[in-house]
Amino acid sequence: MTIDLEQARAALLARKAELETLSEISEGARDTVSLDQQSVGRLSRMDALQQQAMAQATERQRAGELQRIAKALRLIADDEYGWCESCGEEIAEKRLEVDPSATVCVRCARR
């Protein structure tokens, strides 16, 4: 396997830091929406609730990606990185360059 593990680890750690920063920045948008009946109209309340729901959904996606990154970092540490967890074949280097947290080859991902 010709995958540069240090480069993969660096890419994973950089993405992890980016996701954690984005999560901190958007924390307020995910908080409970307080509705002041005097100053906020019905449409504004709906907008606030929709924005909150979108921020929460985005955070769930971030959490999933952080889990995949943690798994990939464990695989690197265990010298198991770059092998498809489904079929056991080597994951293409280009696929890992695009998504260093990939744990399955393209063929198995299509299934």
Confidence of residue 57 (pLDDT cuts 50, 70, 90): very high
Beta bridge partners of 90: 83
Q: What does the pLDDT look like over 82-93, one tens digit per residue? A: 999 999 999 999
Asked whether the predicted pLDDT for residue 26 surpasses 70, the reply is yes
Instruction: List own/partner pairs for 66-69 with CB under 8 A and 24 or more apart.
Output: 66/16, 66/19, 66/20, 68/101, 68/103, 69/12, 69/15, 69/16, 69/19, 69/100, 69/101
Q: Which residues of 19-32 are buried (b: 16+ CB within 10 A; e: fewer)?
A: beeeeeebeeebee
Place of tokens 């280009």: 94
Tokens of 61: 């996606």
Segment 40-58 shows an average pLDDT of 78
Confidence of residue 51 (pLDDT cuts 50, 70, 90): confident
pTM for the model:
0.80
The ranges assigned to domains in the chain are 5-110
Question: Is a pLDDT exceeding 60 seen at residue 72?
Answer: yes
Q: In whole angstroms, what is the distance from residue 68 CA to residue 81 CA?
A: 12
93-107 per-position pLDDT tens digit: 999 999 999 999 999
CATH level 3 topology of 5-110? Four Helix Bundle (Hemerythrin (Met), subunit A) (1.20.120)
Q: How confident is the model at residue 29 (pLDDT cuts 50, 70, 90)?
A: low
Q: Return the structure tokens found at 53.
A: 């729901």
